Structure 1
C-alpha cells in the first residue's frame, strides 16, 4: 500500500470537510424548507387602517389563523383582496417568520361628501371617483364640500361620469385657499358650485362645465375671487359663470341689475 504524502493527506481532509459541510448544508436547507412549509399562520396584523375596520379587511383576505401554512399564502393575492375594501386605496402583504401576516394599507382620502335625496350623508368620493361609506367615519372629521346629484353608492367601481371624476381630481389638487372657497356642489345636466359664505357676499353660485377643464376653472375662480370679489365688498354677484374658456362671466346684483359682464382679466391666476 502506497504511503500518502503530507500534501495528499491534507487534500483528503479538505475533501472530507467539504463533503461533510455539503451534507450539513443540505440537512439545514431541508429543515428550513420543512419549517417554511409547515409554519402556521398564527396572527394577522392590519396597519395603516383608520376607517377600514381591521376585521373587515382580514375577512376579505380569506386567511384564517391556525388553519393554513403562512408561506402557502401569496402576498400579491392577499393584497389584492384587501384592496377590495372601499376605504382601501392600496395594500401590501408580508409574511413574517414569527407566523404573522402583516397587511399594510393606505386609505382613500375623501374629496366630497355625497348627500342622498333626503339630504342625509350617504358616502364620500375620493379624487378618482371611488366611494367610501360615510358610516365608517363621521362626516365632521373631514372638511370637504357636500355634493348632490352624484350617482348611487357603488362599493367597488368609480363613478362613470368622466366630467365628475375630472372635477373631483381638480378639487383634490387645488390649493388650500381654493378648496376653502367651495361649500356645496350640485351635479347634473348643469353643474353648479356654491362658494363658502363671506361677509358682504353670502354664498355665490358658480356655474361649471360638466365635461372637463375643471382645474383651470378652479384657478379662474380663485383669481376672480381675490381680484374682483374680496376688494369690492359692496358689489354683490348673482352668478359667476366659468364655462367659457379663459373667461369669468358674471351677473351683478344692485341698481340696474341684472347685467352681464365678462371679466377675463380677473381670471388671471396669481403668480
Structure 2
C-alpha cells in the first residue's frame, strides 16, 4: 500500500534555494502592472536587407520592361494567327485588319484596335489579342451562337440571326438546333441589325428560353402584316396545329404554350387540334376538329 506525503502548506512561503533566487519569476509575455512593454529596437540591417530586396525586384522589372520594349521596337510583325474560329472565315478575318506583314513593328500594333476590327465579322462575339515573342500576333476568337435560321420562300437557308438581331452569314456544314423562320424576311445585310421590330423582339425572347420550350415549335413564319405564325411539332397528327404568336411578348406566350401543351395536348393524343391562339393575355384559344364517325 503506497503512502503519499501531505504537502506542507507553508512550502509556498519558504525561501527558494540560493541558485534560484528569491525574486518572483515573471513570464516573458507578462507585463507588471503600471509598466509598459519596451518598444522593439530598430534593426537597421534588417531594414536595409528588405529595402535591397525591393530595389533589386524593381530593377529587374525595369530591365525586363526595357527588353520587351526594345524587342517590340525592332521586331517586325511576321503574321497574324486566329484561334477558335470554327465558322468565321479566316480569310475574311484577315481582310478586316489592314496591316501588311513586315511593314509594322510589334510596338506599332495596337491590340485593342485589332479586337475592334475583328469584332466586325458577323460571327465574332468577342476576341483577345496577344503579341508572341516570335513576331506573331495571336487573336483568340469567341464566336456567336445563333438563335434563328432565316429561309427564303423555297426553304433554302439565307443567314442566321443572333440574339441581338444581327445577321450571321450561313455556313455550309454548320449545324445548330435553332428555329427556322421564313416569310417576309429582310435581305442579308452584314453588320446591320435586321430592320424589323418583330424579328428583333422574337430573337431576344427566343434566346431566353430553354430548348424544351422552343422544341415545341417546328417552324415560324413572318406574315406580311407583321404577325409571327408557327407550326407545332408533330403530335401524332397528319397536320400539326398552327400557332398564333402575334407581334410581341413571345417569351410569355411560349411559356403559356408549354403549360398548355403539358396539360391539354400530351395527355389527349386523340385530340385533333388545328390551331392554338396565344394572343389573348395568358389565355389559350384552340380550334379543334371533332372526330367523324
Q: CA deviation at 1:202?
A: 4.0
Which of residues 168, 184, 191 is equivalent to 1:156?
191
Alpha-carbon offset, residue 242 of structure 1: 0.9
Q: Deviations over 1:10-57 (max 9, x none)?
A: xxxxxxxx9xxx9x9988866553322122112211112100122211
What is the aligned partner in structure 2 of residue 235 from structure 1?
271
Aligned to 2:233: 196
SS in 1 for 2:229: strand
4+ runs of 1 displaced by more than 6 Å?
24-29
Structure 1 segments unaligned to the other structure (5+ residues)? 1-17, 257-271
Structure 2 residue corresponding to 1:171, chosen from 206, 215, 231: 206
Matched, 1:85 2:92: no
1:129 and 2:165 matched: yes
RMSD of aligned Cα (Å) = 2.5
On the 8 A contact 1:128/1:168 being kept in 2, the answer is yes
1:61 is matched with which residue? 97
| Number of aligned residues | 233
* 1:173 Cα offset (Å): 2.0
Tell whether the 8 Å contact from 2:205 to 2:250 is kept in structure 1 after alignment.
yes
Q: Is the 8 A contact 2:240 2:274 kept in 1?
A: no
| 1:195-231, Cα deviation, whole Å (9 max, x unpaired) | 1112136421111121x31111110111111111111
Q: Is the 8 A contact 1:146 1:185 kept in 2?
A: yes
- Asked if residue 97 in structure 1 is aligned to residue 133 in structure 2, the reply is yes
Which structure 2 segments of 5+ residues have no match? 1-54
Conserved 8 A contact 1:37-1:69: yes
**Which residue of structure 1 aligns with residue 150 of structure 2?**
114
Q: 1:208 to 1:31 in 2, by over 3 A?
A: closer
**SS of the counterpart of 1:90?**
strand
TM-score between both structures, scaled by the size of structure 1: 0.78
Q: CA deviation at 1:80?
A: 0.9
Higher helix residue share = 1
Larger Rg: 2
